[in-house]
Structure 1
Amino acid sequence: MKRIRVIGIGMGDPGHLTRDAVEALATVDVFLVADKGEAKADLVRARQRICAELIPWSHRYRVIEVVDPERGPDRERDSAAYGRGVRDWHAARVDAYAEVLATLQPHEQTVGFLVWGDPAFYDSTIRIVDALRPRFGVAVDVLPGISAPQLLAARHGIPLNRIGAPIHITTGRRLLEEYRPELGDVVVMLDGHLQCAGLAETHPDLRLYWGAQLGTPDEALVSGRLAEVIDEVRRLRAEIRARDGWVMDTYLLRPA
């Protein structure tokens, strides 16, 4: 193995890949994909479809599914325990991938990781690859993709910021302790429990722009005053999880 390529694939739509990313796909001999169980098998199949559609038929490659290590109960952890748990999970992932990489054939010299969205936004792949790099002495490059916040703004037909104003990007875990109107527009990711509901009473004029399963046939969008639409978001989110077995969503909070 000589090179690892971290490729942002957008939100599962082949049209979301840049030309550079499409060209990079055709250089990869082996793609490593995390197997997160049957509930999230659609995410593996989406990656396989992208490869089948965009890689020339003449280029031979294979996809290896690597069973993802178990992750602890994040919701019950405080910040310190959460950080330790994520680091332990990452270390277990590194070991799992290293075990597979050690078995590659001599002609399999380029390995690819297909990252949902963009590798720069709340994704562990670059950290995993940085840990693998010294073990195998390989070169690494990263190709960006369309991120969830970008697609969210496009679907709602809005910019993420107002004129000359900042954008604050955070997680659901941190939202309630961090939020204040002076932050400006706030993009929230990884909020499986809709922590924004805790702001509805104290900030009744906040506007919510929410999207789930962005870029897929099951895409759902909601916008309006947070206090007025949060119940609709909860309902849609529950329907999506019941139907698909997983939910990927993000949202923007905008002060009046």
Structure 2
Amino acid sequence: MIELALIGIGTGNPDHVTAQAIEAMNAADLIMIPVKGPEKTELAELRRTLLTTYLKNPETRVVEFDLPVRDAVTTSYGATVADWHGAIAEAWETVISDTLDPGTPGRVALLIWGDPMLYDSSLRIAGILGRRIPLRPRVIPGITAIQALCAAHAIPLNEVGAPVVISTGRQLRDHGWPDGAETVVVMLDGECSFRTLEPEGIHIWWGGCVSMPQERLVAGALSDVGAKIVAVREELRARNGWVMDIYLLRRMSRKP
């Protein structure tokens, strides 16, 4: 039986790594680091930095592997993602079988951006892998990008007694503003999909590389700051080779 620890590491800021996460890193026999393309090199380096800071167990092996690239959507988005998840599960299985002694229990860990329960595929991929080898997943929660964004702007996530919709850029582009929502948090958006909305009455709180040294924050009426966010995002991407961003939209009867 392999124990697979999915360790939430927040935004990658070492200060956001919990004591439970550090304990799980040092309990692992194997820590896998995915590498995917030139623009992901710095993301792998952030993981290496965390391990340099917190991994003190000399017996823990750290192995990097090429993360399969998702194919372009040709039939359906769901089918394309399912095929991609299957390829990642196969890559995990290869690393585990090549590194650990066959037939013996082992502890394997992956460092997951944010928290594994929120817009991350690791738990689904672990489910696929569990159909191939004896596997017991374990989740170590981390600070989510939503928490980091609200903290950075010093704002509440929700209005008093009101619900919040957490969605993606694709959903916002394809379906517009969610029915009945006052507050929408948008993740996984590489296209600044807020530009597809009629901006009147909408306030936005945006963050790029939140909680990292290169953090940039922009907030204001969407009609006033939308173009600025697009420019700042492009600047961050050009400077770092990558950018992780998130934003909160709220329909306002008055400015905050």
The normalised TM-score by structure 1 is 0.92
CA contact (8 A) 2:3 2:108 kept: yes
Read off the aligned partner of 2:47 and give its amino acid letter: R
Deviations 1:214-242 (A, max 9, x none): 12111110000011101111111111111
In structure 2, how many angstroms separate the alpha carbons of the residues matched to 1:37 and 1:26? 28
Offset, 1:108? 7.9
Match status 1:110 vs 2:111? no
Report what 1:173 is aligned to: 170
Alignment of structure 1 residues 41-80 onto 2, 5 Å: 41-56=41-56, 58-73=57-72
- Give, in angstroms, the shift of residue 34 of structure 1: 1.3
With 58-67 and 8-17 compared, the bigger mean Cα shift is at 58-67
Identity value in percent: 39
Root mean square deviation, CA, Å: 1.7
Partners of 1:249 and 1:9 in 2: CA distance: 16
* Contact 1:151/1:214 (8 A) holds in 2: yes
Matched, 1:221 2:193: no
The one-letter amino acid of 1:195's match is: S
Shift of the 101–180 alpha-carbon distance from structure 1 to 2, 3 Å rule, reads closer
Aligned residue in 1 for 2:246: 250
Change (3 A) 1:22 1:38: same
CA separation in 2, counterparts of 1:87 and 1:252?
Answer: 29
Q: Give the residue type in structure 1 aligned to 2:147.
A: Q
In structure 2, do the counterparts of structure 1 residues 151 and 166 end up closer, same or farther at CA, with 3 Å as the change threshold? same
Aligned 8 A contact 1:11 1:148 in 2: yes
1:129-153 deviations in Å (ceiling 9; x for gaps): 1111232212221011001111000
Q: 1:82 to 1:181 in 2, by over 3 A?
A: closer
What SS does the corresponding residue of 2:117 show, helix, strand or coil? coil
Distance apart, 1:41 and its partner CA:
0.8
Partner of 2:94: 99
Q: Following TM superposition, by how much is the alpha carbon of 1:55 offset from its aligned partner in structure 2, in angstroms?
A: 2.1
Partner of 1:188: 186
Following TM superposition, by how much is the alpha carbon of 1:62 offset from its aligned partner in structure 2, in angstroms?
A: 2.2
Distance 1:224 1:181 in 2: 23
Quote how far apart the aligned CAs of 1:178 are.
4.2
Following TM superposition, by how much is the alpha carbon of 1:26 offset from its aligned partner in structure 2, in angstroms? 1.0
Q: Does 1:211 align with 2:207?
A: yes
Tell me what 1:233 maps to.
229
Are 1:124 and 2:121 an aligned pair? yes
Following the alignment from structure 1 to structure 2, what is the Cα–Cα distance between the partners of residues 173 and 48? 31
1:37 is matched with which residue?
A: 37
**Contact kept? 1:181, 1:255, Cα under 8 Å:** no
Q: Which amino acid aligns with 1:67?
A: D
Equivalent runs, 1:10-25 vs 2, <5 Å:
10-25=10-25
The answer to whether the 8 A contact 1:30-1:62 is kept is: yes
Consecutive aligned runs of 4 or more in structure 1 exceeding 6 Å deviation: none
1:242 corresponds to which letter in structure 2?
A
Unaligned runs of 5+ in 2: none
CA contact (8 A) 2:176 2:196 kept: no
How many angstroms apart in 2 are the aligned matches of 1:69 and 1:105?
21
How far has the Cα of 1:100 moved from its partner?
1.6
CA drift at 1:19:
1.8
- Output the CA distance in 1 between the equivalents of 2:22 and 2:100: 24
SS in 2 for 1:103: helix
- Three-state SS of the structure 2 residue aligned to 1:86 is helix
